Amino acid sequence: MDIAAEICADLADEWLPTIYREKVRSQRTRSYHLEIPVRENRADIQYTLLGIELKVGKRRFACPDLATARYLRVFARLGCRNFAVPYDISQISGIADELETSWQRSLVLAKTKAPDDDAALRSVIKALRAEITAIGPGDAMPLFDRETKQGKVD
C-alpha cells in the first residue's frame, strides 16, 4: 500500500478530499479558477492597502476576506486550478479551518511515515490533487431552483 493510501486510511473522514466532497460539494457552490501551475505551490496571504491578497508564485489574487484567502490557499498549495467555493460565505471560515487542519495532518503523517523521502510527500500531494480534480468544481454559478416567497420557479 502506498503512503497516500495509508494516510487516507489514517485520516478517514478528515482526509482533505473527503471534507471537500462532503462539506463543500454537497452544498450550493460556485466554481473557482486559479491560474497557477499544477504542482505543489507556495501560497502566502498578504495584507495590502487594497485588502487581502493570495500570492502564489508571482501571481496575486484579490480576496474579499481572510476566510476566503485561507480557503483558496489550501487549493493553491496543492496546485488545484479548478475547485468549488461555498456560495454561502458564512460557511467558508469553518470549512477553511477543517481543510487547513487536514492539510497539516497530512503533511505530519507523510513526514512521520517517510521522514527522509520527499517523493512520498509529493505522492501524497498528487493523490490529494487527483481526488479533488475527480470530484470537480461544479457549476460556474449555483442553480436557484427552489421555491421562494415571491413565487414558484419554472
HSE of 48, CA atoms in CB hemisphere, 13 A: 15
Region class of 57: left (phi > 0), else alpha (psi between -120 and 50), else beta? left
Judged against a pLDDT cut of 70, whether residue 130 lies above it is answered with yes
Q: What local confidence, expressed as pLDDT, does residue 80 receive?
A: 96
Report domain extents, the chain: 3-135
Residue-level pLDDT at 108: 94
Mean pLDDT over the full length of the chain: 91
54 has pLDDT over 90: yes
| Band (150; pLDDT cuts 50, 70, 90) | low
User: Residue 67's pLDDT is what?
Assistant: 97
How far CA 45 is from CA of 12, 42, 56, 76, in Å, comes to 29, 10, 9, 11
Question: Is residue 92 a contact partner of residue 52, using CB atoms and an 8 Å limit?
Answer: no
What pLDDT, on the 0 to 100 scale, is given for residue 114? Answer: 87
Give the pLDDT confidence of 61-103 residue by residue, as tens digits. 999 999 999 999 999 999 999 999 998 999 999 999 999 999 9
The pLDDT, as a whole number, for residue 82 is 96
